[in-house]
């Protein structure tokens, strides 16, 4: 509790209840957070800042806290609305030049030296002599202008963006320019992931309630309340991931009323439940011993969460909560034919959310096609009449039906409701094929059948009891994936972030010839290098990667990349995720992945092979060091018996 010192994060003179939050207060909190590497301290600073915002907001003002939280996670809207920053370096350099009167070449030289445009902007501002102190920036002013920049489109949008950024920068004092520029770049670099912001938000709400009510809690009681608050908000947010709804409910009903007022609602995509890998059928049977479970085909397509809202709108969301309705207008159009109650055309299902896989299909033969086919579809502005690659939806879970969230029902009940309220339409919609098999032989036969039918393997899911509830955002042991690759001894693929590249040789001189990949440690919020990869690419693919990655080039590795001994020719903003297979994992003095988990050295991939781009995953969804350490240990176990683990169990 001693860590929560509001005075530290307050600004000189503070600000009065009902006044807009000064942007300087947020910038100060950011700079304090950035200055420490200790997670507890970062958390305490953010909690204190959000507590101040709550206490100084007028009654009924939800916007101050909402905007503060959005700026802390560097977003301007919920994920699925997709209003994004990520302004290019050259535009920002231009605006810094215009607002400070410095030449572009000087700014570029500084950037080369510092590797951080935010810092360059701040230094350029602070060395500028000004006659008048500008009017202080406020949070609503900054927020509104950032949104305006993000939404600017059309042919004169670049000039408009530069002019707004110049105006913002002209009013900056102290640290402000640093964080405004970083926000604009789309990267705050203060080492605070969304998860930490959620925890701080819950803690601030608990502390505000304590002070308001004058309740006397012992240290222990308070610690319990803080912990429970964090748990509540995380679970509520994974079901309803929009601060636009969670924050007003939090301020209105307190942390204890949050669950009741924030439930899954059609139109807001929830964070999908994920599965754990297993490598043998025996492992499945061990895990689900004496429990009822079902095996479903694991289709090789793209995850699709389908929503029907009360006004009749149908929307399709990706694994990453991106709105894919424009990519799949055919699915939106097809759906009414499938959403009929027990096959009765007159009775269509009114509101729902179901979880499904969209799979490319040959409608003449009914054969499923691999993911590569699906990836040939355009991502945007697709017109139904132009669609070549047809898609069938395979629904495997029902999460919401006619006004009721179903997450807390056992899977077999959700499955029954799904089958009652929807009807298969050949080539367009079906239920995931399932078998409630019990023995190794039955599972083996079903697995082989799934592969023959063009699937990746099976998903094995708990059917009964509370272990079969739908767990948003969790990689749960109650869902196991059994891929054919694991059985062939290849192991699960990894999702890795491209952080650097090496120039090509021979035929490949005009493109990058090899790449540096990294995993993502969500605890440390850092990328750890893992291998160099140069195989598995066709000429065509290399060209496409070059086109995608070239604009992401940076002069230095970003501060949150743990480089180790890797020396690529160029660095990238960590954004692009690839799925990669490896023959083997080995310890390496060069790379930093999973360092300290099984050994002081990092873990590297031997003979990594490129499989495909994963544009449904963000860099923060990449495979983590724990998973890599687990894979390494399994392999070591298979080769030499149990090895030792240093940290993390």
Q: Could you tell me if 476 and 274 are in contact, meaning their C-beta atoms sit under 8 angstroms apart?
A: yes
- Tell the smallest beta-carbon distance from residue 296 to ligand ATP (Å): 4
- Tell the smallest beta-carbon distance from residue 232 to ligand ATP (Å): 25
Q: Which is nearer to ligand ATP, 330 or 430 (CB)?
A: 430
CA nearest to 339, candidates 429, 433, 427: 429
CA nearest to 629, candidates 641, 611, 645: 645
- Tell the smallest beta-carbon distance from residue 646 to ligand ATP (Å): 26
- Tell the smallest beta-carbon distance from residue 274 to ligand ATP (Å): 3
Q: Which is nearer to ligand ATP, 297 or 422 (CB)?
A: 297
Angle, CA 88 vertex, CA 87 and CA 90 arms, to 5°: 130
Q: Please enumerate in sequence order all residues whose Cβ is within 8 A of that of 332, keeping only pairs 6 or more positions apart, or say none.
A: 314, 315, 316, 325
Q: Rounded CA gap, 51 and 45, in Å?
A: 10
- Tell the smallest beta-carbon distance from residue 174 to ligand ATP (Å): 42
- Tell the smallest beta-carbon distance from residue 432 to ligand ATP (Å): 4
Q: Which is nearer to ligand ATP, 185 or 355 (CB)?
A: 355
- Run of H or E residues at 54: helix 39-55
Q: Rounded CA gap, 529 and 591, in Å?
A: 5
**Pairing of β 390-401 and β 429-431:** parallel
- Tell the smallest beta-carbon distance from residue 510 to ligand ATP (Å): 32
Q: How far is CA 115 from the centre of its chain?
A: 25
CA nearest to 149, candidates 170, 194, 103, 180: 180
Give the Cβ contact number of residue 7 at 10 Å: 8
Q: Rounded CA gap, 574 and 571, in Å?
A: 9
The label of the residue with tokens 């950037």 reads: 111
Q: Kindly list the distances between the CA atom of residue 253 and the CA atoms of 205, 240, 309, 406, in Å, as whole numbers in the listed order.
A: 10, 16, 25, 23
298 is catalytic: yes
Give me the long-range contacts of 500-503 (CB less than 8 A, separation at least 24): 500/557, 500/566, 500/568, 500/569, 500/570, 500/571, 500/572, 501/549, 501/568, 501/569, 501/570, 501/572, 502/532, 502/534, 502/568, 502/569, 503/569, 503/570
Q: Could you tell me if 421 and 346 are in contact, meaning their C-beta atoms sit under 8 angstroms apart?
A: no
- Tell the smallest beta-carbon distance from residue 458 to ligand ATP (Å): 8
- Tell the smallest beta-carbon distance from residue 200 to ligand ATP (Å): 28
Q: Which pair of structure tokens corresponds to residue 147?
A: 């949104």
- Tell the smallest beta-carbon distance from residue 485 to ligand ATP (Å): 10
3-state helix, strand, coil in the chain (%, to 5): 40, 20, 40
- Run of H or E residues at 476: strand 475-483
Look up residue 467 and give its DSSP letter. G
Q: Could you tell me if 80 and 317 are in contact, meaning their C-beta atoms sit under 8 angstroms apart?
A: yes
Look up residue 58 and give its DSSP letter. P
Q: Which is nearer to ligand ATP, 263 or 303 (CB)?
A: 303
- Cα of first residue to Cα of last residue in the chain, in angstroms, is 29
Contact residues toward ligand ATP (CB under 6 A) are 274-275, 296-299, 303, 319, 357, 396, 432, 459, 481, 493
User: Which is catalytic among the residues 42, 161, 245, 298?
Assistant: 298
**Pairing of β 561-562 and β 526-533:** parallel
**CB neighbour class for 532 (10 Å; exposed up to 12, middle 13-18, buried from 19):** buried
Q: Could you tell me if 294 and 479 are in contact, meaning their C-beta atoms sit under 8 angstroms apart?
A: no
Q: Could you tell me if 410 and 466 are in contact, meaning their C-beta atoms sit under 8 angstroms apart?
A: yes
Write the secondary structure of 513-542 as one string of H (helix), E (strand) and C (coil): EEEEEEEEECCCCEEEEEEEECCCCCHHHH
- Tell the smallest beta-carbon distance from residue 321 to ligand ATP (Å): 13
- Tell the smallest beta-carbon distance from residue 441 to ligand ATP (Å): 21
Q: Which is nearer to ligand ATP, 174 or 579 (CB)?
A: 579
Q: Rounded CA gap, 392 and 468, in Å?
A: 26
Give catalytic residue positions: 298
């Amino acid at each position: 509790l001693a860590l929560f010192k509001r005075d530290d994060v307050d600004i000189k003179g503070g600000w009065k209840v009902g006044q807009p939050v000064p942007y300087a207060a947020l910038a100060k909190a950011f700079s304090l957070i950035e200055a420490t590497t200790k997670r507890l301290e970062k958390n305490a600073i953010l909690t204190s800042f959000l507590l101040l915002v709550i206490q100084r907001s007028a009654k009924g003002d939800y916007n101050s806290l909402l905007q503060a939280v959005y700026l802390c996670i560097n977003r301007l809207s919920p994920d699925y609305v997709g209003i994004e920053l990520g302004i290019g370096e050259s535009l920002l350099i231009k605006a810094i030049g215009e607002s400070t009167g410095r030449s572009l070449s000087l700014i570029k030289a500084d950037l080369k030296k510092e590797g951080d445009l935010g810092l360059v902007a701040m230094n350029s501002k602070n060395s500028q002599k000004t006659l008048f102190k500008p009017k202080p920036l406020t949070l609503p002013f900054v927020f509104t202008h950032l949104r305006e920049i993000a939404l600017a489109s059309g042919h004169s949008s670049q000039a408009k963006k530069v002019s707004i950024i110049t105006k913002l920068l002209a009013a900056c004092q102290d640290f402000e320019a640093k964080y405004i520029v970083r926000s604009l770049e789309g990267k705050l670099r203060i080492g605070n992931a969304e998860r930490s912001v959620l925890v701080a938000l819950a803690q601030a709400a608990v502390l505000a309630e304590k002070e308001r009510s004058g309740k006397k809690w012992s240290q222990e009681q308070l610690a319990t309340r803080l912990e429970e608050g964090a748990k509540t908000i995380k679970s509520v947010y994974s079901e309803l991931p929009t601060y636009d709804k969670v924050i007003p409910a939090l301020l209105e009903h307190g942390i204890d009323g949050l669950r009741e007022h924030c439930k899954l609602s059609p139109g807001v995509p929830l964070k999908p439940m994920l599965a754990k890998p297993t490598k043998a059928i025996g492992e499945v049977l061990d895990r689900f011993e004496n429990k009822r479970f079902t095996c479903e085909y694991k289709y090789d397509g793209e995850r699709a969460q389908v929503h029907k809202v009360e006004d009749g709108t149908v929307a399709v969301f990706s694994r990453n909560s991106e709105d894919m309705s424009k990519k799949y207008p055919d699915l939106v159009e097809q759906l009414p034919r499938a959403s009929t109650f027990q096959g009765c055309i007159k009775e269509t299902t009114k509101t729902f959310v179901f979880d499904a896989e969209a799979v490319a299909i040959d409608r003449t033969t009914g054969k499923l096609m691999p993911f590569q086919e699906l990836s040939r579809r355009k991502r945007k502005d697709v017109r139904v009449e132009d669609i070549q690659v047809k898609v069938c939806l395979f629904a495997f879970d029902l999460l919401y039906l006619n006004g009721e969230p179903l997450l807390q029902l056992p899977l077999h009940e959700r499955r029954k409701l799904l089958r009652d309220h929807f009807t298969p339409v050949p080539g367009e919609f079906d239920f995931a094929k399932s078998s409630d098999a019990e023995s190794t032989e039955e599972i083996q036969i079903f697995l082989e059948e799934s592969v023959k039918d063009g699937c990746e393997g099976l998903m094995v899911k708990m059917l009964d009891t509370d272990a079969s509830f739908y767990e948003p955002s969790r990689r749960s042991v109650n869902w196991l994936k059994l891929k054919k690759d694991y059985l062939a001894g290849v192991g699960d693929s990894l999702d890795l972030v491209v952080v650097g590249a090496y120039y090509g040789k021979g035929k490949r001189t005009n493109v990058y010839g090899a790449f540096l990949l990294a995993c993502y440690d969500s605890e440390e919020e850092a990328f750890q290098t893992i291998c160099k990869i140069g195989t598995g690419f066709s000429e065509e693919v290399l060209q496409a990667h070059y086109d995608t990655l070239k604009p992401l080039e940076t002069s230095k590795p970003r501060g949150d990349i743990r480089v180790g001994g890797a020396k690529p020719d160029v660095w990238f903003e960590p954004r692009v995720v690839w799925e990669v297979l490896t023959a083997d994992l080995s310890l390496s003095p060069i790379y930093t992945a999973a360092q300290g988990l099984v050994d002081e050295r990092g873990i590297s991939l031997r003979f990594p092979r490129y499989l495909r781009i994963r544009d449904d995953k963000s860099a923060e969804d990449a495979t983590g060091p724990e998973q890599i350490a687990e894979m390494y240990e399994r392999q070591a176990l298979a080769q030499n018996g149990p090895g030792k683990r240093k940290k993390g169990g």
